[in-house]
């Protein structure tokens, strides 16, 4: 038996003992929450409800992909469209930590509703070791309050189950592969989703811009990596900056939006170096972004900082 198989057997046995009633999990489709959901459903079957919340802040095509995956895994699941509520909660909120808090609070509300309806007593979470370290739970400094850690469980009055809390990302990916989960090679994506990649106000229009830019960056970089032109980075995405700058659109002076491109390599997200994207790939990213959103975006810049001193996300 491989290390991953041993972990799976042990985790399922432990979950059978730990979960004494109905359980609920927020499944974002990311590797951590999906692995946790699959392990818990292997342990307790339909006593687990996996809830996917469409916050309106997800990547292009993501909700449809996650729905198809949950369907394929034959899990007891529910997709909830809460996008209007999320945009309302984020209206006028600019501070990154305030965004995380607003999103965290609304998650609690949405979950409480679903958990009550289902009668869940247990909350399964996909928390992994770096989430705990960076959220200062162990007494170390707070870098960012990753919203899946802290406050939430106590307030919800459910017993928290965290099957992956001792693991790092690479371990979780190995377990996902062993479980046959399709998302195992997906890049990490933050809980507050595109809201922390939108440094301007979080509106449906601004999120649509950063969503399209992220999709182009992903597509170009995946293509370049598949063609052997670069290594596939750990994370690669776009950020909408609050800066406007002067450009030309046709014969007219335009005052447009700015997109930053970020690609980093990392082992565990704790430290990172910026990836070397080949110039022709950068060129293609820039052209596609400005062509597809020519009336909105007129400038694309490239982030060449490591972590530290920067963090991976801009917020
Ligand atoms: P930073 O930006 O802190 O990111 O260097 C480290 C890793 O964590 C992700 N990240 C988050 N994940 N909730 C999450 O679940 C968050 O609020 C959050 N902020 C950052 C980030 O994408 C990277 O993989």
Closest C-alpha among 252, 127, 175 to residue 7: 175
Sign of the alpha-carbon dihedral angle for 272, 277, 281, 284: positive
What's residue 73's pLDDT? 87
- For residue 170, the CA-to-ligand 1 centroid distance in Å is 16
Q: What is the pLDDT of residue 250?
A: 84
Span of 23-27, 28-32, 268-272 with lowest mean pLDDT = 28-32
pLDDT per residue as tens digits for the range 97-149: 999 999 999 988 998 899 999 999 999 999 999 887 766 555 445 566 554 54
Residue 276 predicted with pLDDT over 90: yes
Q: Phi/psi of residue 314, each to 5°?
A: -90, -10
Q: Are 165 and 129 in contact (CB under 8 A)?
A: yes
Residue 147 has a pLDDT of 45
Beta bridge partners of 76: none
CA quadruple 115, 137, 267, 185: dihedral, nearest 10:
0
Nearest Cα residue to atom 12 of ligand 1: 190
> 202 and 208 in contact (C-beta within 8 Å)?
no
Cβ of residue 307 lying under 6 Å from some atom of ligand 1: yes
Q: How far is the CA of 80 from the centre of ligand 1 (A)?
A: 23
Q: What average pLDDT does range 239-261 have in this prediction?
A: 94
The pTM of this model reads 0.85
Report residue 218: phi and psi, to 5°.
-60, -45
Name the phi and psi angles at 232, rounded to 5. Answer: -70, 120
Instruction: Compute the distance from residue 16 Cα to the ligand 1 centre, in Å.
Output: 30
Mean local confidence (pLDDT), 184-194? 85
* Average pLDDT over the chain, rounded to an integer: 91
2 CA from centroid of ligand 1 (Å): 29
Q: What pLDDT digit, counting tens, does each position of 55-113 carry?
A: 999 999 999 999 999 998 889 999 999 999 999 999 999 999 999 999 999 988 998 89
* Residue nearest to ligand 1 atom 10, measured at CA: 190
The response to whether residue 99 sits with its C-beta less than 6 Å from ligand 1 reads no
Tell me the CA distances in angstroms from 110 to 126, 133, 299, one per residue in order. 18, 27, 38
- Which of the four pLDDT bands, split at 50, 70 and 90, describes residue 28? confident
Contact between 194 and 58 (Cβ < 8 Å)? yes
Dist. CA 150–CA 144, nearest whole Å: 11
Identify the pLDDT of residue 134: 64
Q: Is 140 helix (H, G, I), strand (E, B) or coil?
A: coil
Confidence of residue 288 (pLDDT cuts 50, 70, 90): very high
User: 187 vs 179, 271, 282, CA distance in Å?
Assistant: 18, 16, 19
Residue 111's pLDDT is 84
What pLDDT shows up at residue 184? Answer: 65
For the beta carbon of residue 311, count every other beta carbon within 10 angstroms: 15
- Give the model's pLDDT for residue 149: 41
Distant-in-sequence, close-in-space partners of 27: CB < 8 Å, separation ≥ 6: 33, 34, 37, 50, 51, 52, 66, 70, 75, 77
Q: Are 77 and 201 in contact (CB under 8 A)?
A: no
Q: Is the CB of 188 under 6 A from ligand 1?
A: yes
């Amino acid at each position: 038996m491989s290390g991953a198989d041993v972990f799976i057997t042990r985790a399922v046995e432990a979950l059978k003992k730990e979960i004494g009633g109905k359980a609920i999990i927020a499944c974002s489709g990311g590797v951590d929450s999906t692995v946790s959901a699959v392990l818990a459903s292997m342990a307790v079957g339909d006593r687990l409800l996996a809830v996917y919340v469409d916050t309106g802040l997800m990547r292009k095509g993501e909700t449809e992909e996650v729905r198809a995956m949950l369907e394929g895994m034959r899990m007891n699941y529910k997709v909830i469209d809460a996008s209007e509520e999320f945009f309302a909660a984020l209206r006028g909120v600019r501070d990154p930590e305030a965004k995380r808090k607003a999103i965290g609070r609304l998650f609690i509300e949405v979950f409480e509703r679903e958990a009550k309806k289902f009668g869940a007593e247990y909350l399964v979470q996909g928390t992994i070791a770096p989430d705990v370290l960076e959220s200062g739970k162990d007494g170390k400094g707070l870098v960012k309050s990753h919203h899946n850690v802290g406050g939430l469980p106590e307030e919800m009055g459910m017993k928290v189950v965290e099957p992956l809390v001792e693991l790092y990302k690479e371990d979780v990916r190995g377990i996902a592969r062993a479980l046959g989960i399709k998302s195992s090679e997906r890049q990490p994506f933050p809980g507050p989703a595109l809201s922390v990649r939108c440094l301007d106000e979080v509106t449906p229009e601004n999120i649509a811009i950063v969503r399209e830019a992220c999709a182009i960056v992903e597509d170009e970089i995946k293509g370049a990596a598949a063609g052997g032109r670069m290594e596939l980075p750990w994370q690669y995405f776009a950020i909408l900056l609050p800066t406007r700058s002067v450009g030309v659109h046709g014969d007219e002076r335009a005052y447009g939006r700015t997109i930053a491109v970020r690609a980093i390599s990392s082992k565990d997200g704790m430290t990172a170096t910026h990836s070397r994207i080949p110039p022709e790939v950068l060129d293609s990213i820039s052209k596609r972004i400005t062509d597809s959103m020519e009336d909105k975006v007129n400038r694309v810049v490239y982030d060449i900082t490591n972590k530290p001193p920067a963090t991976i996300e801009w917020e």
